[in-house]
Structure 1
Amino acid sequence: GTVLGPVLFLLHVNDLPVVLQTASLLFADDLKIWKPIECDEDRVALQHGLERLVAWSSERRLPNNPAKSEYMCLGKPTSDRVYHLNGQKSISVSSTRDLGVQIRYDLKSKDHTNAVYKKYLRILWASKRRTTLLRIMLDVHPMIRCGPETHVLPALLTMVKKFEKGFQKQRLEAAHLFPDPLYRASSAFVSSLIDAAGSPAPVLCNKDPLTLQHISRLRMMFPKAKFIHIVRDGRAVTNSMIKRKIRMSSVITDPQKLFTRWERIVRDVDQQCSDTDKCFTVLYEDLVLRPNDTMHKLLTCHSTCTNKKLYDVAGFLDVPWDPIVLHHETAMINETLVNTMEPSSTQVVHPIHTEALSSWASNSSKLPRTFIQRVHLDSDMLRKFGYADRGIPPFYGNAEPKIELQTKQLRKDEDFLK
């Protein structure tokens, strides 16, 4: 428990490599011994080294544990080599974990990449805009790390999609690179990017727009992954994209084309989301108006959590409740990373408020009045998520009292009104 303790231990074991008389590496109390085996004399010499280790351990009162000792032959595996430690036969393995890395006898990365993509719990979600708020709310939770957008993953997943059909698929199959090798390599790439996007945490999260268009693909890469699909009123999304000049296609200012694109994406993601019980749909308006209720459903779970449908999901992520998620603005400086180049980053420095929910129907809207009055009549996605019957201007439900108070206070804040 002291700084001096580890130093004294290192001094105590410092002469071990000399005693062994063979190549070795020592990391704390973890020891690796190796020797090229070209003849029987080499094998005998290695066994003598193990016997010297036993004698040294007894002298230093540092007993070794034969049950945790393994040996691995790099190259072609052989079954005729037997080594003993403390009179017990060492276990022969073809793969072992060493300081966080899974090592194979042939030095290939297959076992390690398999271990990496199977262990990760990922939360990936999309729905063009307004995902930054939930990203920040999750990121301030002590068990969740949800870094900024990578801007790389959607392009990677689109590329992987191209290799899943036609000539590209046939060529990979002929080279024995499809499907498992392709998905293992892709998952390792995805994991590496998400790992580098922030500090370690039990639950890692990615928030790249359009990622959820690849739910089926990501489920193969990350079997334990969970997906959060955030949906906002498509009319509000369209207005926001025009107002903030978000370039998602060659047509920036055509409301109907942007809205149609929103419908297509949401329809695609909704279909993939409905195919698995590991996908949870959250309405952005619910998150803003009733964050306490919505975040409780999203975070905490009990043994009775069985229904995974919209509005009925209780505790989708199954992590302990922490009220800090309702006060993200107080923890952002120390707890979360905000990329100032993301257009929506400046909007999450304030407490949750309702000021912008229905701005798409106001006099300051960038949408034509004819579009506002008629677009909901023929939209199956607005109908499905209950937006078509909200009225103009829309009524999305009552806000929690605290949200109403925060909104009133912000309306008096000159910096907020700028």
Structure 2
Amino acid sequence: MPRSGTTLMRAMLDAHPDVRCGEETRVIPRILGLNSQWRKSAKEWNRLQEAGVTDEVLKSAVASFIIQVIAGHGAPAPRLCNKDPLTMKSAVFLSDMLPNARYIFMIRDGRATVTITGFDLSDYRQCMTKWNSIMEVMDEQCTTVGDKCLKVYYEQLVLHPEPQMRRILDFLKLPWNESVLHHEEYIGKDVKLSKVERSSDQDVLEEVDQLAPMLRKLGYDTSRNPPNYGKPDELVSKKTEDLHRNREEWYKKAVEVVNDPERVEKPLPYPN
């Protein structure tokens, strides 16, 4: 799901010396969407079969396209990853084509995620029902893929980065490396943050049980507003303190790596 921490996740993985993710390709979800349309239309699917474009031919072609895009849009590395969030809607199909691939399903409280472009924030009901339907599909896809798909909660990754990253790297069969805990030092250097990728704003909405039952299914407490996700680890507290104390330096760095500098809030005075 877009705006669920996928940019943070890929930046942390990109900081690992054995991994290269890179920016969103934007074309992979589109080719997967076309593939889905072809298969849903009986008329179109029959035409493809009659033309000799069988299931195996199509799978092979789509797999080759995806591999070429992932491999070709950045520097070579021992392990490659793709950050396009909506590919999780096709995880079962991808798993069939790419049996050695592993999938990370980023989950974030929908009351924050609905600030995503494409949601009409003037229509609260539309926001949460749309989030719910997409998450329902992705959750089912991840569950069907089984032990090749790992569910990662954005809030827990932010509050407890080391245990979460150890769990993630173990799932990916990658050696532990401290650099993943200091990914911010690599932004603009080894880690290239797309100037059009957006990280997320927090927007807490109320009364969502009927509109978004997936919130409770995924373990979120919908009775609290604002939500309480727990206390941060010491490392996170120290980095937050550093962010406040060196706010001017971090502000300048943020302006350098985003497409629209006006979106970056200017730092407030730090209390003595």
Identity %: 37
Distance 1:256 1:413 in 2: 40
Tell me the secondary structure at the aligned position of residue 151 of structure 1.
coil
What number of residue pairs does the alignment pair up? 249
Describe the shift of the 1:185–1:335 C-alpha distance in structure 2 as closer, same or farther (beyond 3 A).
same
Match of 1:284 in 2: 154
Distance 1:334 1:264 in 2: 37
Find out whether 1:161 has 2:20 as its counterpart.
no
**Deviation at 1:280?**
0.6
Match of 1:381 in 2: 214
Flag structure 1 segments of 5+ consecutive residues without an equivalent: 1-125, 300-314, 348-355, 362-371
Match of 2:203 in 1: 360
Q: Which of the numbers 53, 58, 63 marks the counterpart of 1:187?
A: 63
Match of 2:125 in 1: 256
**Deviation at 1:151?**
1.0
Q: Which of the numbers 389, 392, 413 marks the counterpart of 2:225?
A: 392
Relative to total residues, which structure has the larger helix share, 1 or 2?
Answer: 2
**Deviation at 1:283?**
0.3
Match of 1:407 in 2: 240
Match of 1:197 in 2: 73
Distance 2:183 2:242 in 1: 17
Distance 1:260 1:408 in 2: 37
Which letter does structure 2 place at the counterpart of 1:217?
Answer: F
| 8 A Cα contact 2:221 2:227, kept in partner | no
| 8 A Cα contact 2:208 2:222, kept in partner | no
Deviations along 1:14-38, whole A, 9 cap, x unmatched?
A: xxxxxxxxxxxxxxxxxxxxxxxxx
| 8 A Cα contact 2:4 2:154, kept in partner | no
Tell me the secondary structure at the aligned position of residue 335 of structure 1.
coil
Distance 1:198 1:318 in 2: 22
TM-score, with structure 1 as normaliser: 0.56
Which letter does structure 1 place at the counterpart of 2:78?
Answer: P
Flag structure 2 segments of 5+ consecutive residues without an equivalent: 252-264, 267-272
Distance 1:320 1:203 in 2: 12
Which letter does structure 2 place at the counterpart of 1:159?
Answer: L
**Deviation at 1:377?**
5.7
Describe the shift of the 1:128–1:266 C-alpha distance in structure 2 as closer, same or farther (beyond 3 A).
farther
Greater mean deviation of Cα atoms: 397-406 or 335-344? 335-344
Greater mean deviation of Cα atoms: 166-175 or 229-238? 166-175
Deviations along 1:324-368, whole A, 9 cap, x unmatched?
A: 000001123331222112223xx8xxxxxxxx6xx424xxxxxxx
Bigger RCO of structures 1 and 2 (CA < 8 A, at least 6 apart): 2
Tell me the secondary structure at the aligned position of residue 333 of structure 1.
coil
Deviations along 1:364-390, whole A, 9 cap, x unmatched?
A: xxxxxxxx3312465321101221256
Distance 1:156 1:325 in 2: 31
**Deviation at 1:216?**
1.6
Which letter does structure 2 place at the counterpart of 1:407?
Answer: T
Match of 2:27 in 1: 152
Tell me the secondary structure at the aligned position of residue 11 of structure 2.
helix
| 8 A Cα contact 1:377 1:388, kept in partner | no
Relative to total residues, which structure has the larger strand share, 1 or 2?
Answer: 1
Q: Which of the numbers 125, 142, 162 marks the counterpart of 2:17?
A: 142
Deviations along 1:146-194, whole A, 9 cap, x unmatched?
A: 0100111111101011222401111222222110111111111111111
Distance 1:222 1:187 in 2: 7
Distance 2:53 2:216 in 1: 43
Match of 1:298 in 2: 168
Q: Which of the numbers 168, 173, 176 marks the counterpart of 2:52?
A: 176
Distance 1:288 1:128 in 2: 14
Tell me the secondary structure at the aligned position of residue 188 of structure 2.
helix
- Alignment RMSD (CA, Å): 1.9
Deviations along 1:109-160, whole A, 9 cap, x unmatched?
A: xxxxxxxxxxxxxxxxx44442100111001111111010011111110101
Match of 1:234 in 2: 110
Deviations along 1:284-333, whole A, 9 cap, x unmatched?
A: 0010000000000010xxxxxxxxxxxxxxx2101100010000011233
**Deviation at 1:195?**
1.1
Tell me the secondary structure at the aligned position of residue 195 of structure 1.
helix
Match of 1:324 in 2: 179
Deviations along 1:191-235, whole A, 9 cap, x unmatched?
A: 111112211112111111211111121112211111110010000
Describe the shift of the 1:390–1:283 C-alpha distance in structure 2 as closer, same or farther (beyond 3 A).
farther
Describe the shift of the 1:259–1:389 C-alpha distance in structure 2 as closer, same or farther (beyond 3 A).
closer
Distance 1:167 1:227 in 2: 32
Distance 1:163 1:232 in 2: 31
Tell me the secondary structure at the aligned position of residue 133 of structure 1.
helix
Describe the shift of the 1:360–1:412 C-alpha distance in structure 2 as closer, same or farther (beyond 3 A).
farther
Which letter does structure 2 place at the counterpart of 1:329?
Answer: E
Distance 1:224 1:152 in 2: 22
